[in-house]
Amino acid sequence: MTEQLKPWTRAEFEEKLREKGRGYHIYHPFHVMMYEGKLSKEQLQCWVANRFYYQIAIPMKDAAILSNCPDKEVRKEWIVRITDHDGVGDQVGGIEAWIQLGEAVGLTREQVTSLEMVSPGVRFSVDAYINFAKQRSWQESVCSSLTELFAPHIHQQRISSWPTMYPWIKEEGLSYFKKRLTEARRDVEQGLSVTLDYFSETREKQLQALDILQFKLNVLWVIADSIMLASTDIKVEGRDYLRQPVINFE
């Protein structure tokens, strides 16, 4: 093995993974506008409604990981992610908390849960992510979840800025972000441990892990692209392309 192809140390590999945060969707123009308080009420509503499709996909993704994982100890830890989002008993999970966010920005529960506002680009991107988790090894799917490395910052950003930038949003709507601050940090520890253990053997596998993480970053970026397009007035030859009806063939 040549010097160039030697695997990075565990610390170096982790740093390479963390460097991918430079492509996190917190830097997408739509999210920058959100942080700066430049989005209209309608644009924020569009974002919440579209991102709900991603929220309901998370436990499906995690269930796919569990179905491919033969390691009981990993499953025992990972399954908590599903209950975090689905909830347990009377406990409010992430999906319900997101619906409450929708209500806090002025949407009805039906508008959120019907998925009537979800754009084709968001559907395609999220479905691609679920299919990845179903078809690839559980370790690869775990690696794809490592965008959680960068999530606490964006959650804290919303908690800190929204009350000032968007005072019309009901405060209880921020419960999802507060909930995820703790959960995401816990989830990162497990996902990062699996990734460092499985992909550290060779430089080739480490590069594969970076490509997988980039795939997930791309998914999130395209979701932001699609939402920005869906919430922006675009006129071509006099026709208004804002919020065209979405045909659901399900």
Residue 239 lies inside a defined structural domain of this protein: no
pLDDT by residue for the chain (250 residues), tens only, comes to 445 689 999 999 999 999 999 999 999 999 999 999 999 999 999 999 999 999 999 999 999 999 999 999 999 999 999 999 999 888 899 999 999 999 999 999 999 999 999 999 999 999 999 999 999 999 999 999 999 999 989 999 999 999 999 999 998 899 999 998 888 788 899 999 999 999 999 999 999 999 999 999 999 999 999 999 999 875 555 555 454 444 343 4
Largest CA distance in the chain: 62
Q: Is residue 7 part of a domain?
A: no
Pairwise CA distance, residues 79 & 218, whole Å: 26
Does 125 map to a domain? yes
Q: What is the DSSP string of 44-56?
A: HHHHHHHHHHHHH
Distance CA 15, CA 207 (A): 13
Residues 6+ apart with CB under 8 A from 2: none
| Residue 186's CATH number | 1.20.910.10
Tokens of 6: 């030697």
User: At residue 236, what are phi and psi to the nearest 5 degrees?
Assistant: -125, 120
Q: How many domains does the chain have?
A: 1
User: Within a domain: residue 243?
Assistant: no
Q: 164 is written with which tokens? A: 């000032």
What does the block give as tokens for 35? 């942080």
Bridge-partner residues for 239, per DSSP? 236
Q: In whole angstroms, what is the distance from residue 242 CA to residue 46 CA?
A: 11
* Rounded alpha-carbon distances, angstroms, from residue 154 to 59, 177, 202, 235: 21, 9, 32, 32
Residue 240 lies in a domain: no
Query: Under a CB-based contact definition with an 8 Å cutoff, are residues 121 and 232 in contact?
Result: no
> Is 121:199 a contact under the CB 8 Å cutoff?
no
Q: 104, 108, 110, 118: which is closest to 55 by C-alpha?
A: 118
* Phi/psi of residue 235, nearest 5 degrees: -120, 125
The CA-CA-CA angle for residues 19, 165, 169, to 5°, reads 105
Q: What is the pLDDT of residue 90?
A: 84
Residue 151 lies in a domain: yes
Phi, psi of 239 (to 5 degrees): -95, 135
What's the pLDDT score for residue 246?
Answer: 42
Q: Which range marks the domain in which residue 126 is found?
A: 21-232
Give the C-alpha separation, 193 to 147, whole Å: 14
In a domain, 161, yes or no: yes
- 142 in a domain, yes or no? yes
The beta strand positions in 169-243, using DSSP E, are 235-236, 239-240
